Chains A and B, each alone.
Chain A
Amino acid sequence: MKRTSAEPLGIDDPICVPHVDDEPGYGDLVARSLGDRIEGVSVDCETSAAAALETLDAGRVDCIVSDYQMPGWTAWRSSSAFASATPTSRSCSSRARGAMAMGRRPRDRAERRCRARGAHEPRRAFQVRMVLSGMEPISRRSVLAATASLAAGGLAGCLDSSDGGTSTRGGGTTGGDGATASGGSEPSTTPTDVGLPTRDTPFHVPDSAKRLRENVVGGGPGKDGIPSVDDPQFEPVRDVGDRINPGMPVFGVEVDDEAKAYPQYVLVWHEIANDVVGGVPLAVTYCPLTGTAMAFERGDVEFGVSGKLVNSNLVMYDRATDSRWPQVVGTAIEGDFQGASLRQVPTTWTTWKRWKVANPDGLVLTEDTGSVRNYGRDPYGDYNPTRGYYESTNFLFAPIRESDRLEPKAVVHGVRSSDGAFAASEAVLRRQRVAAGTAGSLDVVMVYDPAFAAGVAYANPDGASVEADGDRYRVDGGERVAAGDLSLQRLPSFDAMFFAWYAFYPDSEFVLEDGDATSPSEVRAR
């Protein structure tokens, strides 16, 4: 039964979804997919442009799913026809691989976009996993908001399963205004829906998501042009032999007594490894241009390289919703998860020699990544010794802001909380051994770990005294312990090039010179 456009949607009215594609099989798959998830959806399959126009003219259409290029039918024609058939509606669009869905959403944003672009704005591609991941039954109230994305997700899943597993490469694009494909202000997907663990309170991010989005640039490679390692292979530390030079950087992650190292010379070509450490699914990420190695809990979701940069930092995307996550802030600036922050796991940037000594029973990422690369040749420079981009003062892309308080590529060790950030020069920390400060309302103490030549950060809300004693430390005069074993809550801190840290966190409390390295007691006394 078709309703007229003027009538409001009743609780028992079917949700009308014409599917336009000259391949009839896709329509059946979409109908089944939507029918399994939503009550009362009615999918009409139209295989010609004429039939599609007739359907649109005949009655109310709540959402249209369309092949955007077939005989007599294009994306523009679909947009125009939908807009004409539903003049009081507000159209949004979402594009999956080779198709698009248009549904309802706030008029002003959609219309502004249509007028500016002259056609629908392609949105992100959704994976069928989102549809089949066991979403809770959707209420009738939110069904219109979800229809566009669900329809696109079902279609993308059908196309992905038919072409054999290339679903994660090269699909979709993202609009620039950060609006979601769902209606109104409610996101169509939450992190829980797709099994992505996020922080209860997001990380502090001084710049607005809009500001960061405006400063996103293309880095050269397209989406997944730098392929993530999705099936990483490892070998025991003792079997590595001379494959890894002792002085080469590795990024170490330890979870529940499982220690894994990710050599920089491999990860520089992939930037993201979707792995499991100690039973915890993690995305181990590395951005060569900002010198940041960070690990995030990823749950059931894989992350990929979007090919975009902000402040020269890698912008990741999640393969569930194509939300965009700059690595340093660990917070989505676009997409369904905008504003949410990933849970970060401490990562140690050290050398292979040091890691091997400390973790003789650990595992190391091999070059068997599924991709073919000239491992051993760093496209940006070298770390052993430091050369090329890592040594020069040049940026590839200008950051949002700059500071001359430190050399741009000098390393700082930083940590952020929900309301602030704190960073210390790695060189100062190495000399002073202890640096204390605040990340917003959180008291922080950093110590230098001689075993790894790396910084370690702890929350120190009680202002316990922390003093170096040889190559170890004492907390409140207690027993000598290693830098990684202080009786304080460890924080997920990380190294970064100063220019990148400052670009993202200009309001940080900094320890950049020897005199700045205050003790916890001095911090408490402020």
Chain B
Amino acid sequence: MSEATATRSVPRRARRVAGRTRRALGLVRSRRDARLAFGGGTLVYLLVYMVASGALSVGRAVGFDVVVASDPLSKLLARTGPASFEPLALVDLGLARVLLAPGDLLLGATLAALVGANLALTYLAVVQPAACGIDTGAGVLAAVPALLSGTACCGPVVLLAVGVTASGALVSLFAWLVPLGALSLLASLAYVAGKIAV
């Protein structure tokens, strides 16, 4: 294959992968069991992300209350960390306390939807494989970097738990966890989509 042909084939391949992924996601929409896998995966990941980022805490009796930050609109885009945003409201729901930061919710929901999609496609790849003997663990592993990013709100305190002394470079890495996590989720989505008989 000439260089020109090889160069032209890259965007063509990308379009093919995108189309295949789109069709696979369409299959998720059309199958109830796949929709359940998507919904369940999304919800569970979102809850775990909120706990990891401190947006959700459960267990302490806090009553029922709503507290709104002063001048909330000015805080809409204010960040508390590399991948966390200033909460605008606090909602106490008996045994759960939720800090509502629109930025965190949007980020968490996006990542959760990617995880849910990965889970749904992985399920389809098991029940409707294009070929036998595939590795379907990629989607789950891809979710880990994004999950760790949720702990970056108060500095890399998670490193204390594992006894690792941080360095400037390591702290900087936390700023990349979300985009890296999102990219890896997208990549695994495309990979697993190729394993489904659409």
- Measuring CB to CB, which residues of chain A are less than 8 angstroms from any residue of chain B? 164-166, 169-170, 217-222, 224-227, 231, 370-374, 376-377, 379-380, 388-389, 392, 394-398
Contacts and interface: CB of A to CB of B under 8 A. Distances in A.
Contacts of B79: 170, 221-222, 225
Contact of B78 (A170, A219, A231, A395): A170
B141 interface: no
A394 B68 CA distance: 36
Counting chain B CB atoms within 10 Å of each CB, the highest count among A227, A397, A398 belongs to A397
B152 A220 contact: yes
Contact of A217 (B78, B154, B167, B174): B167
10 contacts: A170-B79, A220-B82, A220-B155, A221-B154, A221-B155, A222-B82, A231-B70, A379-B157, A396-B159, A396-B166
A396 B81 contact: no
Contacts, number: 98
B156 to A, nearest CB: 6
Given A219-B155, A225-B81, A395-B165, A165 B90 contact: no
Given A164-B74, A394-B160, A221 B97 contact: no
What are the nearest 3 A-B pairs in CB distance? A220-B155, A379-B154, A370-B70
A222 B81 contact: yes
Interface string B163-176: 10111100110100
Interface in B36-76: 54, 57, 60, 67-71, 74-75
B167 A397 contact: yes
B166 A397 contact: yes
B144 interface: no
Contact of B81 (A165, A220, A373, A388): A220
Nearest to A371: B69
A192 B10 CA distance: 64
Nearest to A308: B168
B171 A220 contact: yes
A396 B67 contact: no
Nearest to A226: B80
A374 B80 contact: no
B88 interface: yes
B157 A396 contact: yes
Interface string B76-95: 00111110001111100000
A10 to B, nearest CB: 47
Contacts of A227: 78, 80, 86
B153 interface: yes
Size bin of chain B's contact surface? 35 or more
B142 interface: no
Interface in B147-198: 152-157, 159-160, 163, 165-168, 171-172, 174
A389 B157 contact: yes
B125 interface: no
B120 interface: no
Contacts of B154: 220-221, 379-380
B80 A221 contact: yes
A379 B68 contact: no
Contact of B67 (A165, A170, A221, A372): A372
Nearest to A220: B155
Chain A facing B: main interface SS: loop
B192 to A, nearest CB: 33
B99 interface: yes
Given A372-B88, A373-B99, A374-B57, 6 more contacts: A222-B79, A370-B71, A371-B87, A372-B87, A374-B54, A396-B157
Contact of A396 (B70, B89, B156, B172): B156
A372 B97 CA distance: 11
Nearest to A169: B78
Contacts of B78: 169-170, 224, 227
Counting chain B CB atoms within 10 Å of each CB, the highest count among A219, A224, A225, A226 belongs to A225
A166 B74 contact: yes
Given A165-B74, A220-B171, A379-B54, A389 B160 contact: yes
Nearest to B72: A372
Given A218-B168, A225-B81, A397-B166, A374 B152 contact: no
A225 B80 contact: yes
Contact of B90 (A169, A219, A220, A374): A374
Contacts of B67: 372
Contact of B160 (A165, A224, A373, A392): A392
Given A371-B69, A395-B165, A221 B99 contact: no
B79 to A, nearest CB: 6
B60 A376 contact: yes
Nearest to A375: B90
A394 B158 CA distance: 12
A370 B69 contact: yes
A389 B166 CA distance: 14
A173 to B, nearest CB: 14
Contacts of A370: 69-71
Contacts of B166: 217, 396-397
Nearest to A268: B154
A388 B79 CA distance: 25
Given A220-B82, A220-B155, A372 B167 contact: no
A396 B74 contact: no
A95 to B, nearest CB: 19
Counting chain A CB atoms within 10 Å of each CB, the highest count among B80, B89, B157, B172 belongs to B80
A130 to B, nearest CB: 22
Contacts of A392: 160
A372 B69 contact: yes
A371 B171 CA distance: 25
Contacts of B152: 220
Contacts of B54: 374, 377, 379
Contacts of B81: 220-222, 225
Nearest to B77: A170
Contacts of A394: 160, 163, 165
A374 B99 contact: yes
B90 A396 contact: no
A285 B51 CA distance: 28
B119 to A, nearest CB: 29
B120 to A, nearest CB: 33
A226 B163 CA distance: 24
A374 B153 CA distance: 13
Contact of A221 (B88, B153, B168): B153
Contacts of B68: 372
